[in-house]
Amino acid sequence: MQKQFNPVSAKEAVRIIKSGDRIFIHSVACAPKILINAMVERAPELKNIEIIHIHTEGDAPYTKAEYDGIFKLNSFFVGSNVRNATQDGRADYIPVFLSETPKLIRQNILPLDIALVQISPPDKHGYCSIGTSVDCTLAAIENAKIVIAQVNSKMPRAFGDAQIPIKNFDIFVEHDSPLYTSPCTEPSNTEIQIGKNVASLVEDGATLQLGIGAIPNAVLSQLGNHKKLGIHTEMFADGLIPLVEKGIVTCEEKKLNKGVIIASFLMGSQNLYNFIDDNPGVAMMDVAYTNDIAIIRQNPKVTAINSAIEIDITGQICSDSIGTKHYSGVGGQIDFNRGASFSEGGKPIIALSSVTKNGISKIVSTLKVGSGVVTTRPSAHYIITEYGIADLYGKSLQQRANALINISHPNHRENLFKEARERFGWNRIYSF
Ligand code: COA
């Protein structure tokens, strides 16, 4: 029987929260601000509330120092809104493959009391859409004891796993507000050069995954002469739309979900959110599906394009921390890196600028103390900077060092060679 759609105020809705609850918050653009604020207003009556989410946009008021002992965030990804709190120890981070975030919920390793989510109004068949973020939110909706939903007519009606019967939600709060948007910045000259280098490896008919950060959009901007590209990714941003409009992304060569763009969450402008609204050409799926290596590998020429913070000359790739300071998370980097490696003609790529904006080399002889090795040496294949491409796969440590130093920033090469000579005992001109 269809559940009664009987909206209440945000204040009334969050009355059900009690001390000791574990609460999930909908991800990225869908963080339901009105419910979050109403929950935080109840702070004086509550204690020991654990908050769980992947990356969210907007404020995260529950991480403020004044709520110590009341709210504690354990996130699956450290976004910019919780970075200071995580680095200061007020919030914490759970290292987990993005593909396995739903498993932590479904297998009751992290049982949920409450989920705060955002949905579209029900359609004529009684289905609501969780729009731009299905990720692990679907698992939260299926498993939380109580699901409180902000019903927002601005939430795009997306297909795939985003369609959820209204009976799966318990408490409704009607409130229309724009979803959070993320600015799409113009790529720098360095990023464009990196994009060109990556594009030179992308074959026609490839299935692309694009990770988080500035470089994926720069890559997309360089694919204007490609043909029959497919998309099976955990996320995408605005850079994809022109390629769909120009008929470059068709998904026709994909073996799985032929003709359909597969993603799990979006981060971008309102234009991006409009793009998926009522669009049967895009399926927003559970991240346990999009990021399953056994699923990813079924498509041909999977080309996984992700970024990193630092890489040592043997191919250890740090992507989630700057030394001991947690910066982001593991995300789906390993899921797609391995999926691409197993795919026929697949190419796992890590693309990064050779130096930071302060001129610090990202290619180093040893990682900073405390750096998180997200992608390990045997998983490293193509590393790309603005200076070229290093193919590490099947290469020895010394061959890798040589290849990586050759794509490092020229200002750092002499020093890197010196350190490599000391490390590997190169006392002659080494022939690679
Ligand atoms: N040493 C010191 N600081 C460094 C650094 C280094 N080696 N590398 C980066 N930084 C600093 C930058 O200066 C910048 O500082 P700012 O915030 O003050 O501007 C910041 O770290 C971010 O670097 P940037 O290169 O701009 O990052 P990005 O936005 O392009 O994202 C990652 C790069 C690696 C952080 C991002 O891709 C990520 O989180 N990856 C892991 C998860 C993943 O790959 N998921 C896959 C699919 S979503």
Can you spell out the DSSP letters for 269-321?
A: -HHHHHHHTT-TTEEE--HHHHT-HHHHTTSTTEEEEE--SEEETT--EE-SE
How would residue 164 be classed by pLDDT, with cut points 50, 70 and 90?
very high
pLDDT for the residue numbered 431: 53
pLDDT for the residue numbered 430: 53
Q: Indicate the average pLDDT of the chain.
A: 96
User: In the CATH scheme, what architecture does the domain 10-174 have?
Assistant: 3-Layer(aba) Sandwich (3.40)
Domain boundaries, the chain: 10-174, 189-424
Please report, in angstroms and rounded to a whole number, the separation of the first and last CA atoms in the chain: 70
Q: How far is the CA of 307 from the centre of ligand 1 (A)?
A: 7
DSSP tag of 179: P
Residue 143 has pLDDT above 60, yes or no: yes
As annotated, the active-site residues are 234
Q: How far is the CA of 319 from the centre of ligand 1 (A)?
A: 7
What is the tens place of the pLDDT at every residue in 39-97? Answer: 999 999 999 999 999 999 999 999 999 999 999 999 999 999 999 999 999 999 999 99
CATH fold of the domain at 189-424: Glutaconate Coenzyme A-transferase (3.40.1080)
Q: Model pTM?
A: 0.96
Q: How far is the CA of 21 from the centre of ligand 1 (A)?
A: 33
- Fold matches, 10-174 and 189-424: yes
Sequence-distant (≥ 6) Cβ neighbours of residue 383 within 8 angstroms? 311, 315, 317, 349, 350, 351, 352, 389, 390, 392, 403, 404, 407
Residue 1 has pLDDT above 50, yes or no: no
What is the tens place of the pLDDT at every residue in 364-384? Answer: 999 999 999 999 999 999 999
**With a 6 A CB cut-off, is 312 part of the ligand 1 pocket?**
no
Read off the pLDDT of each residue in 324-333 and give the average, rounded to a whole number.
97
